[in-house]
């Protein structure tokens, strides 16, 4: 186990580049026992600029090694978001000697007559260390649509084809191919469903088993760029439904939200995890409203922790449920059991420097409030407040340290929950973030914070009588 030294200038458990700007995760793929994380990267500054694909690898999803830049801009443009797959059967003809990696990404070019976005390929025969751009690039263009980007590609067994989902303005277009080179348009999704408050970006499409059944459902993830008047800034919606290799049909028309916090964007899942044994998503832990202003020094932006996704039926709806992967546990050296009665006098849990994993359970009071404060100093805290009358969780970060770089940043984040008999909460607190999963992953809230001091302790108090809280803390 190689723990990064804890300090106040870097996250501990979350991937952040050594220096300069990062946004969306790209090309998430598992190959030769390594997880690859590529990402939107600007190597010449700490704000968004001409995009490259940065690269990191991990064997356990938590400890990432940064590698040299994978893809540089070229005559077709800069390198926007996209995906990567293993071409196991050499459908492309790029590989003579066993399987290799293919990256499918957007070339973005600003010309005198406007923006041109097209899809291109690059391949690697050395486990992603070096990349060769396909000489026939681009492989998929559009004569007029300037929003034509972020291809996510997967192999669809039933139709024996590659499938691409692509963000095309405020819809997702679906294409298919035998060889990743020639693409056929199949269908367009989204005209009358979901949220259309901003441009659609970074789609993903995959099947998952519904917990406790033998039924598979398809999940379409779509991020929505920041738009005028959006209360949340940029945000991610998802749909559940069916897919036959050509058309995705959503079983609902209202958007479902992946996360109720402001700092989970452009999340997509790993390709080629063996036998699809688990579906793991990583998101960009920021928000376009303030991403370029967040107060870090030589680097800017982090990824969320990986989230393992499952589907669960809750009150007639199919919900995406999120869990931290089992690999996370090995990063904590000791576990403290918690069994405390909390009342209006409050209790305090001491912590050591470093990240905190907290898992708490309590019978859910019918009324009143429970407050959990992450205390950094007498004046600085992030407050998580449950209001049981309104069935509302609020995360308040207006006094959490540096907040004045954005008006939206200090506004409360809220999550409304259904009737629960038991309140279950899992929280990971890192230098610059709180990731909160509630009711065994049914609700998620991901939130950045920029305190000036180390976490000193966690205090709990309630006006709902005597509340017995049980759980564990790992550090």
Give the active site residues. Answer: 24
Provide CB contacts within 8 A for 177, sequence distance 6+: 161, 162, 164, 183, 184
CB of 184 to ligand FRU, least distance (A): 23
Give the residue with the Cβ less far from ligand FRU, 263 or 327: 263
Strand ranges inside 16-98, DSSP E: 20-31, 34-42, 52-58, 65-71, 78-87
The interface mask with ligand FRU, positions 169-208, x = CB under 6 A, is --------------------------------xx------
CB of 148 to ligand FRU, least distance (A): 10
CB of 239 to ligand FRU, least distance (A): 18
The reply on whether position 168 binds ligand FRU by CB under 6 A is no
Rounded alpha-carbon distances, angstroms, from residue 297 to 17, 130, 147: 12, 29, 32
Number of residues located near ligand FRU, criterion CB under 6 A: 13
Give the residue with the Cβ less far from ligand FRU, 73 or 245: 73
CB of 219 to ligand FRU, least distance (A): 19
The interface mask with ligand FRU, positions 241-270, x = CB under 6 A, is -------------------------x----
Site for ligand FRU in 416-475 (CB under 6 A): none
CB of 322 to ligand FRU, least distance (A): 20
CB of 285 to ligand FRU, least distance (A): 12
Q: Which of 215, 203, 211 is nearest to 239 (CA)?
A: 203
Give the residue with the Cβ less far from ligand FRU, 115 or 273: 115
Q: Choose, by CB under 6 A, the member of 11, 13, 14, 24 that binds ligand FRU.
A: 24
CB of 201 to ligand FRU, least distance (A): 4
| CA 443/CA 417 separation, integer angstroms | 8
Cβ atoms of 223 and 234 closer than 8 Å: yes
Peptide bond preceding 317: is omega within 30 degrees of 0, i.e. cis?
A: no
Per-position DSSP letters for 1-27, written without gaps between them: --PPPP-TTS-SSS---SSEEEEEEEE
Give the residue with the Cβ less far from ligand FRU, 62 or 172: 172
What per-residue string of b and e applies to 209-239 under the rule 16 or more CB within 10 Å gives b?
A: ebeeeeeebbbbbbbbbbbeebebbbbbbbb
| CA 11/CA 25 separation, integer angstroms | 17
Q: Choose, by CB under 6 A, the member of 87, 150, 197, 260 that binds ligand FRU.
A: 150
Q: Choose, by CB under 6 A, the member of 46, 91, 106, 426 that binds ligand FRU.
A: 106
Provide CB contacts within 8 A for 305, sequence distance 6+: 13, 14, 62, 282, 324, 328, 428, 435
Site for ligand FRU in 353-412 (CB under 6 A): none
Strand partners, 300: 21
Instruction: Give 154's DSSP letter.
Output: E
Instruction: Give 113's DSSP letter.
Output: T
Per-position DSSP letters for 230-265, written without gaps between them: -SSSSEEEEEEEEE-SS-EEES-SS-EES-SSS--E
Hey, is 449 helix, strand or coil? coil
Give the residue with the Cβ less far from ligand FRU, 225 or 441: 225
Site for ligand FRU in 27-86 (CB under 6 A): 40, 51, 80-81
Give the residue with the Cβ less far from ligand FRU, 150 or 259: 150
Give the residue with the Cβ less far from ligand FRU, 24 or 197: 24
Residue numbers at the binding site for ligand FRU (CB under 6 A): 23-24, 40, 51, 80-81, 106, 149-150, 201-202, 225, 266
């Amino acid at each position: 186990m190689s723990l990064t030294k804890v300090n106040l200038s870097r996250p501990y458990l979350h991937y952040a580049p050594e220096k300069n700007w990062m946004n969306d995760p790209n090309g998430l793929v598992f190959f030769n026992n390594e997880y690859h994380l590529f990402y939107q990267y600007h190597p010449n500054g700490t704000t968004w600029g001409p995009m490259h694909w940065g690269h990191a690898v991990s064997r356990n999803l938590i400890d990432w090694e940064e590698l040299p830049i994978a893809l540089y801009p070229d005559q077709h443009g800069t390198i926007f978001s996209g995906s990567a797959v293993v071409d196991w059967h050499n459908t492309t003809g790029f590989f003579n000697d066993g399987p290799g990696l293919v990256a499918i990404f957007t070339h973005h070019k600003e010309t005198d007559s406007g923006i041109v976005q097209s899809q291109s390929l690059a391949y690697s025969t050395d486990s992603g260390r070096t990349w060769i751009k396909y000489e026939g690039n681009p492989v998929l263009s559009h004569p007029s649509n300037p929003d034509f980007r972020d291809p996510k590609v997967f192999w669809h067994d039933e139709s024996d084809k590659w499938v691409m989902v692509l963000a095309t303005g405020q819809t997702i277009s679906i294409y298919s191919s035998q060889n990743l080179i020639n693409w056929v348009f199949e269908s367009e999704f989204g005209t009358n469903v979901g949220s259309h408050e901003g441009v659609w970006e970074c789609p993903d499409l995959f099947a998952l088993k519904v917990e406790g059944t033998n039924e598979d459902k398809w999940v379409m993830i779509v991020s929505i760029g920041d738009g005028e008047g959006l209360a949340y800034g940029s945000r991610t919606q998802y749909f559940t439904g069916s897919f036959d290799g050509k058309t995705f049909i959503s079983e609902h028309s209202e958007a479902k939200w992946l996360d109720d916090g402001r700092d989970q964007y452009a999340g997509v899942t790993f390709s080629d995890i063996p036998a699809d044994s688990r579906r793991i998503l990583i998101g960009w832990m920021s928000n376009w409203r303030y991403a370029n202003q967040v107060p870090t020094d030589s680097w800017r932006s982090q990824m969320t922790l990986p989230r393992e996704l499952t589907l669960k039926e809750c009150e007639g709806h199919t919900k995406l449920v999120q869990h931290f992967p089992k690999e996370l546990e090995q990063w904590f050296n000791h576990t403290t059991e918690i069994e405390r009665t909390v009342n209006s006098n409050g209790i305090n849990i001491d912590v050591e420097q470093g990240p905190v994993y907290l898992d708490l359970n309590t019978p859910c009071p019918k009324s009143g409030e429970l407050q959990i404060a992450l205390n950094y100093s007498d004046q600085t805290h992030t407050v998580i407040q449950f209001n049981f009358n309104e069935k509302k969780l609020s995360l308040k970060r207006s006094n959490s340290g540096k907040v004045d770089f954005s008006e939206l940043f200090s506004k409360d984040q809220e999550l409304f929950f259904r009737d629960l008999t038991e309140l279950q909460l899992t929280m990971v607190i890192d230098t610059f973030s709180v990731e909160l999963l509630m009711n065994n992953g049914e609700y998620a809230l991901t939130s950045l914070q920029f305190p000036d001091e180390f976490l000193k302790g966690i205090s709990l108090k309630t006006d709902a009588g005597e509340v017995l809280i049980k759980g564990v803390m790992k550090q």
